[in-house]
Amino acid sequence: MASAPPAEVLAAGLAQLEAQQLYRRRRVVGHAPGLGPAEALVDGRRCLVFCSNDYLGLARDPRVAAAMACAVRAWGAGAGGAHLVTGHTREHHALEEALAAFAGRARAVLFSTGYMANLGLVTALAGRGDLIAEDRLNHASLLDAARLSGALVKRYAHADAAAAATRLHAGARRRLLVTDGVFSMDGDAAPLAALADVCTRQGAWLVVDDAHGFGVVGPGGRGSLAAAGLAPEAAAAVVGTLGKALGTFGAFVAGDEALVETLIQRARSYIYTTAPPPAVAAATRAALRIACAEEWRRERLAALVARFRGGAADLGLQLMPSSTPIQPVLAGSPGAALAASAALFEAGLWVTAIRPPTVREARLRVTLSAAHEPADVDRLLEALDRLPGLKAAA
C-alpha cells in the first residue's frame, strides 16, 4: 500500500499543532528613526519589547555598533573558515582572553552558538560508560547533548540537590552533573552551592550553562557561581552566551587549560563549523568592557525587576519565584497565554506566549532590560491588569 506523500503527512502534523494551540509563528522585526531603546517595529506595529534577552540593553549600543563597523572594514564580513583552519583571527583570540579573565578561568574557547557550545562540551566530556545527571528543566541543548553523547542520562527533580545526589550512583567511568545557572523559562537559579557540594562528595564534575546569568547576576555580573558565593573552579566548565547580556552573538566555554584544549581537539561542533565573523568578536569585546564598567545597568535592572514583581503582586498576577530579569506570568492554558499575548500586542506591548512542550505550564515570558524605563514597566502592569484571566483565584 502506497504511503501518503510527505507534504500531506507533514501538513496533517501542522494542523494538529494548530488545533492544540501549540503552533508557533514568527514575527518580523524592524527598526525606524525615533524608536526608543526598548522599542521595535513588530509586523509593522510600534511596540515596547518585553520578550528580548538583551538584559543590559547593549544590543543597540552605538559603541558596540561602532566597534563592529570598524572591524568589518578591517576584516570583512566573515571569518572564511573554521577556527582550526583560517577562521581564528586576532579578534577571536583577544575576545577569548577577555572572557577567560572575566570568568576567572585560565582559558575560554568561542563557539558559534550557545546550542553548539553545549553540544560540543557535553559530548567531548562524556560518552559510553559515563553518567550524566541533569536537572529536568535544563535547556533543550543540554538535554540533546546528553542524549547525543551516548552516556547514561539520569534526570533529577528541578533544583533539588538531594535528588541529584541519588542520580550519581557509582559504577560509571566519569560522572557529570549538568545544570543551567539561571533557568531560561522559570527565571529561578540552580542551588549551585549544594550541587557543588554533591559533586565534591561524589567525585562528579559540575557543568554550568550560565547563558542567562553571565553578565547579569552576581558581583560585577560575573555569573551564577559568583552569585552563589563559589569560586570559578567549583565548576569544571561554565558556558556563557554572548547574545544575551552582551547583546551580540555566539557563546564560549571557560575552564582550565586541559578542558579548553580537550574541546579544541574533540568538540565536533567547534571543529566542523565556521568561526563567527571577526567583527562580532570585536563588538563583543566592546560590549564586555561596557558591561564591566557600567554597573548602573545591573542596578537599574534589579530595580526594574523589583518594581515589576511588586506591582504584579499588588495586582494578584500569578508569578513564579524569580529574582532575575525573566519574570514568567502563568496563564493556565495555551489558549489563555495566546489570548493574553495578542491583547498585549494590540496595546503595543510585545510579550511572548510560551506553551508546551517548551514548558509544562503555559505562560507569558516577561523579560526586563536595562533599556526599559520605570514608566515602561508601569505601562505593562496596567495592561496586564486589564487581563483578568492571568490573576490568581481569590
H or E segment and range at residue 270 = helix 268-271
141 counts as catalytic: no
184 counts as catalytic: yes
CA dist list (Å): 139 to 143, 211, 250, 259, 282:
7, 10, 16, 22, 28
41: left (phi > 0), else alpha (psi -120 to 50), else beta?
beta
Interior CA angle at 210 toward 209 and 214, to 5°?
A: 155
Among candidate residues 139, 154, 244, 372, the one labeled active-site is 244
The partner residues of 208 in beta bridges, in order of sequence, read: 179, 238
- All 3 cell numbers of residue 206? 559540575
| Per-residue three-class SS string for 325-391 | CEEEEECCCHHHHHHHHHHHHHCCEECEEECCCCCCCCEEEEECCCCCCHHHHHHHHHHHHCCHHHE
Interior CA angle at 347 toward 343 and 351, to 5°?
A: 65
- Cis link prior to 278 (omega < 30° from 0)? no
Say how many CA atoms lie within 13 Å of 17 toward its Cβ.
Answer: 13
d(CA 143, CA 328): 22
d(CA 228, CA 225): 5
152-156 and 175-180 beta bridge pairing = unpaired
Closest Cα partner for 61 from 294, 365, 307, 240? Answer: 294
Say how many CA atoms lie within 13 Å of 162 toward its Cβ.
Answer: 0
- Asked whether the beta carbons of 308 and 319 are under 8 A apart, the reply is no
Q: Residue 64: is it exposed, middle or buried by C-beta count within 10 angstroms (0-12/13-18/19+)?
A: buried
Among candidate residues 212, 224, 322, 341, the one labeled active-site is 212
Closest Cα partner for 345 from 358, 360, 364? Answer: 364
H or E segment and range at residue 101 = helix 90-103
Among candidate residues 184, 224, 269, 341, the one labeled active-site is 184
154 counts as catalytic: no
Active site residues: 184, 212, 244
